[in-house]
Structure 1
Amino acid sequence: MRRFWFYLGLIGRYLGLFVTVGVLASAALALVPDVRAPGPFMDRWQENLRVFLLFDYFAIDPNRGFSVWDVLLAASWRTGTLLLGALAFSLGPALILSLRIEQSRNPRISRVTAQVLRSLSNLPVLIWAILFMLVAFQFAGIVPVFSQIREGAGAAVAAAVILPILALVLGDGALGSTLDRFQARARDIGRSETMLAVRARGLRQGRFLVRSMVPDVVDEAASKATLFLSGAIVIEVIFEWQGLGWRIWQALGSVKDYPVILGCVTVVMALVLGAHLLRDVLRAAALPHLR
């Protein structure tokens, strides 16, 4: 019963935060006059709240010819693909290198590789995105934008998928901070009394290391999900990757499509808070003393 109330309180806390941020976002959008809703601030805020709280995105808008939900569904899977790819390219290599450095008798190559990746990740996301765009066009004649996935073939499709993910992973120190955390954690585990006992018994050290680092991997994934979603706006605009960030950018432009903006903000909030909720649930399950 105590566990039930703990998880219920955890879900309630994140749900309350989700609603609070949504109400504030609705108010912020209501501050901007809209030609389709020229009334006073309170009327626009009430309309935004109705859309947010009732999730009223399914109605077909005669001005668009489709519903906001259609836009959100298409944009969400594109941003989700970008996010999952970035998490895989970030957490996977960092975990493998950290384990090899800790377990190998001569980890020189792994250490050098980690140091090179750490140095490369010091550049901002914007710089990496522009560099990848220029290199792909200059040396391969490819413009790695999202439309290549539908119309291109072979190298063009691979470049349009991989280069945005690499720019997101390498930018803003994301990969470097993950490497630092995983290496420090693997070092601590490797020098712990439990690991000494594992070595003394001749058991497999790798399995114990991986199992002990699961909470750290989950925690890092939730933290990096927030960072990657922030950087995804830059990536999606430059590579025309028509996800949530690109939709927000377009809606803030000449179109001023506030229902789409509110919908995209709602989905981004759900992704971020959902990742952190999943992290807290898994950590509580793996570490009972946190409950």
Structure 2
Amino acid sequence: MAHFLIKRVAFMVPTLFGVTLIVFLMLQIVPGDPVNSILPPDASEANRARMIQEFGLDKPLYVQYFSWLFHIVQGDFGRSLIKRMAVNDLLFESLWNTFLLSMAAGIVSFGLSIVIGVYSAYKPKSLIASLANIIGLTGVTIPNFWAALILVGVFSVMLGWLPSSGMSSIGGGGPGDLLAHLILPAVAAGMTTLGVMTRMVRSTVYDILQQDFVTTLRAKGVSAVTVLRHVLRNGMPTILTVAGLQFGYLLGGSVLVETVFSWPGVGQLIYQAISQRDFPVIQAGVLMIAVLFVCLNLIVDLFHGMIDPRVRHT
């Protein structure tokens, strides 16, 4: 297992290096000058030159890149060009809020998908199986930001049951208030994951149920619970792999959901930074999401190796 872990970590190094290079170069080709976002339109050329020199934008690209890389390896993401404060302070508070939203969306979507998917695989002609088809089709076809707008219109505007924005009411209301603010964005963010996972769990479990070892277990009179345990154990590597990718999607794909609900996460932080050309914040936000995605895949690989020993020898 140790050799398997070392090999997977070794693969992460060039991947993360490539991520930093892509994140840096992408912002160099984006139209717009960050200095123009800071200085007023009537600023003199002298002030522009001073600002460019202050942020190191007058240096060659490779010097800017390695200087930025050197600092982020040390955990220093620089300072925001607009807010003039450490990006670390902005990023890690927002990152926790995004993680909270992603965890809530993941718990709901993963839990429901396993229950609905397994039951519909056992009862392919039942009402639940038809519901699974509807959920799968709806989840993969309706964009999460559109679902967010529908949820706000129905449950916040029409019914007035749940708040439509922020993490808390004015003055704060404790865990119950946070939960009320979390429900709609979690459902909107998790709809696509619920659709994908439900279809995948159903097809995976259904295929395993047709295999000979399941027929043998049933012929021996093994209990249904034991059969289900064997089925899930055989299907778990596939389910875990897709679940890991989907959780990475929840972390990185909630930009528009956070914007619709004014949820103060990394998505909204990146969205605001893009509109203001705040390059250090954009770079830090995108890089952090990418690093989390890579680390999440490492964790999934480790669980996969624990469940299926054959993977450790690949």
Q: 2:101 is matched by which residue type in structure 1?
A: L
1:161: how far off?
A: 0.5
**Which piece of structure 1 moves more, 225-234 or 30-39?**
30-39
Question: What corresponds to 2:189 in structure 1?
Answer: 168
| Secondary structure, counterpart of 1:55 in structure 2 | coil
Whether contact under 8 Å (2:164, 2:181) holds in the other structure is yes
CA distance in 2, matches of 1:100, 1:126: 29
Residue by residue, what CA displacement relative to the aligned partner does 1:42-67 show, whole Å, maximum 9, x if unpaired?
2433432233333214x788985753
Question: What corresponds to 1:242 in structure 2?
Answer: 264
Classify 1:185/1:142 alpha carbon distance in 2 versus 1 (closer, same or farther; 3 Å). Answer: closer
CA distance in 2, matches of 1:158, 1:287: 37
CA distance in 1, matches of 2:122, 2:161: 43
Classify 1:170/1:17 alpha carbon distance in 2 versus 1 (closer, same or farther; 3 Å). Answer: same
Question: What corresponds to 1:112 in structure 2?
Answer: 130
Question: What corresponds to 2:23 in structure 1?
Answer: 25
Question: What corresponds to 2:12 in structure 1?
Answer: 14
Q: Does 1:260 align with 2:278?
A: no
Whether contact under 8 Å (2:169, 2:177) holds in the other structure is yes
Q: 2:245 is matched by which residue type in structure 1?
A: S
Name stretches of at least 5 consecutive residues in structure 2 with no aligned partner: 36-50
CA distance in 1, matches of 2:23, 2:253: 20
Match of residue 196, structure 2, among 170, 177, 191: 177
Q: 1:268 is matched by which residue type in structure 2?
A: I
Whether contact under 8 Å (2:102, 2:247) holds in the other structure is yes
| Secondary structure, counterpart of 2:253 in structure 1 | helix
Q: Does 1:198 align with 2:217?
A: yes
**Which piece of structure 1 moves more, 155-164 or 210-219?**
155-164
Whether contact under 8 Å (1:48, 1:259) holds in the other structure is no
CA distance in 1, matches of 2:100, 2:76: 25
1:119: how far off?
A: 3.6
Classify 1:81/1:150 alpha carbon distance in 2 versus 1 (closer, same or farther; 3 Å). Answer: farther
Question: What corresponds to 1:88 in structure 2?
Answer: 107
- For normalisation by structure 2, the TM-score amounts to 0.79
Match of residue 159, structure 2, among 118, 139, 162: 139
Q: What pairs with 1:57-136 in structure 2 (closer than 5 Å)?
A: 57=77, 64=83, 66-103=85-122, 108-121=126-139, 122-135=141-154, 136=156
1:240: how far off?
A: 1.0
1:79: how far off?
A: 0.9
Q: 2:130 is matched by which residue type in structure 1?
A: V
The root-mean-square deviation of aligned C-alpha atoms, in Å, is 2.8
Whether contact under 8 Å (1:94, 1:175) holds in the other structure is yes
Whether contact under 8 Å (1:26, 1:49) holds in the other structure is no
Residue by residue, what CA displacement relative to the aligned partner does 1:148-167 show, whole Å, maximum 9, x if unpaired?
35646598644420111111
Q: 2:241 is matched by which residue type in structure 1?
A: D
Whether contact under 8 Å (1:149, 1:161) holds in the other structure is no
CA distance in 1, matches of 2:269, 2:76: 18
1:182: how far off?
A: 0.9
CA distance in 2, matches of 1:45, 1:30: 11
Q: 2:67 is matched by which residue type in structure 1?
A: E
**Which piece of structure 1 moves more, 9-18 or 94-103?**
94-103
CA distance in 2, matches of 1:207, 1:227: 28
Classify 1:141/1:41 alpha carbon distance in 2 versus 1 (closer, same or farther; 3 Å). Answer: farther
Q: How many residues align structurally?
A: 284
Sequence identity (%)? 19
Whether contact under 8 Å (2:99, 2:251) holds in the other structure is no
CA distance in 2, matches of 1:158, 1:75: 17
1:103: how far off?
A: 3.8
